[in-house]
Chain A
Amino acid sequence: MSDLHYLLAVILVMALMTFLTRVLPFVAFRNNKDHHLLDYLGRYMPPVIMTILVVYSLQGVDISIPPYGVREFIAVLLTALVHWLWSNALLSIFSGTALYVFLVQSGLLL
Chain B
Amino acid sequence: MPVMFGYIPLGMAFGVLFQDLGYPWYFAPLMGVIVFAGAAQFMAVGLLSAQAGLTEVAISTFLLNSRHMFFGLSLLKRYTARGLKKFYLIFVLTDETYSLITSTDTPADVDSVSYYMAITAFNQIYWVIGCALGAGLGAWLVFDTSGMDFALTALFVVLVIEQWKKVGEPWPFVLALISAVLALVLFRQHMLVTSIALSMIVLAYQAYRAGLRHE
Contacts and interface: CB of A to CB of B under 8 A. Distances in A.
Given A26-B76, A93-B158, A21 B177 contact: no
Interface residues of B, number: 96
Interface in A79-110: 79-80, 83-84, 87-90, 92-94, 96-97, 100-105
B40 A14 contact: yes
Contacts of B74: 39, 42-43, 46
A37 B62 contact: no
Contacts of B68: 18, 21-22
Contact of A18 (B8, B65, B86, B203): B65
Main secondary structure on B side of the interface with A: helix
B10 A17 contact: no
B203 A40 contact: yes
A61 to B, nearest CB: 10
Interface in A52-99: 52-59, 72, 75-76, 79-80, 83-84, 87-90, 92-94, 96-97
B123 to A, nearest CB: 11
Interface stretch (B105-113, B131-139, B148-156): B148-156
Contact of A45 (B2, B27, B65, B203): B203
Contacts of B158: 79, 83, 89, 92-93
A18 to B, nearest CB: 5
Contacts of B204: 37, 41
Interface string A26-43: 100100010011111111
23 contacts: A13-B61, A17-B65, A21-B66, A23-B72, A26-B86, A40-B203, A41-B200, A41-B207, A45-B70, A45-B203, A48-B172, A48-B196, A50-B156, A50-B163, A51-B160, A51-B163, A52-B195, A53-B67, A56-B195, A83-B158, A93-B6, A97-B151, A101-B150
Interface of A: 3-4, 6-7, 9-26, 29, 33, 36-59, 72, 75-76, 79-80, 83-84, 87-90, 92-94, 96-97, 100-105
Interface of B: 2-3, 5-6, 8-10, 13, 23-24, 27, 30-31, 34-37, 39-41, 44, 47-48, 51-52, 54, 57-58, 61-62, 65-74, 76-77, 79, 86, 90-91, 93, 95-96, 98, 144, 146-148, 150-167, 172-173, 175-177, 179-181, 184, 188, 191-192, 195-196, 199-200, 203-204, 206-208, 210-211, 214
